Amino acid sequence: MTTIQNRTAQSIYPGVRYEDARAAIGWLTSVLGFQEHEVCAADDGSIQHAELRINGNLIMLGTASPGGFTKSPRELGGASFSVYVALDAASDVDALRDRAKHAGAEIVRELTDTDYGSREFSVRDPEGYVWSFGTYRP
């Protein structure tokens, strides 16, 4: 992958909650290529806090608490937002889409070249979050 010069430090960290955060970590790492940065589990095995890295950026996730302040897409009947990850090259997007498809992931938006110059696709994870990947950098 290409290194981008003058990249500013990340200041927005998407945080998602899963009914089964441990399974989500496994899926995100094996299917979408995230890497574990930090995982903190409670005595009962639930994930209190985890950080995963992709393309030099972090997301945070953990186990959703029934009745807690956040809900998983399953509790809501579908995702209420999606996460977009900018990759460095169209070939990176193509390779990740192929990896996800080969792993049996649900591709909800096939590879497309947009009018604004991005190469993109979107995938739904097993609990309903939509993850989009492309070359567009706002």
pLDDT in tens, the chain (138 residues): 444 455 557 889 999 999 999 999 999 999 999 999 999 999 998 999 999 999 999 999 999 887 777 777 888 887 778 899 999 999 999 999 999 999 999 999 999 999 999 999 999 999 999 999 999 998
Q: What does the pLDDT read at residue 8?
A: 59
- Find the Cα–Cα–Cα–Cα dihedral 137, 52, 93, 125, rounded to 10°: -110
Do residues 68 and 75 lie in contact, with contact meaning Cβ atoms separated by under 8 Å? no
Q: For residue 99, what is the DSSP state?
A: H
Q: What does the pLDDT read at residue 30?
A: 97
Question: Domain 15-66+78-134: which topology?
Answer: 2,3-Dihydroxybiphenyl 1,2-Dioxygenase; domain 1 (3.10.180)
Tokens found for residue 130: 């939509």
Q: What does the pLDDT read at residue 68?
A: 75
Domain ranges, ordered by start, for the chain? 15-66+78-134
Q: Which CA distances in Å does 13 have to 51, 64, 89?
A: 10, 17, 22
Question: What φ, ψ does residue 21 adopt, rounded to 5°?
Answer: -65, -35
Tokens found for residue 126: 């097993």
Q: What is the pTM of this model?
A: 0.87
Q: What does the pLDDT read at residue 2?
A: 43
Residues whose CB falls within 8 Å of the CB of residue 110, separated by 6 or more in sequence, listed in order: 97, 121
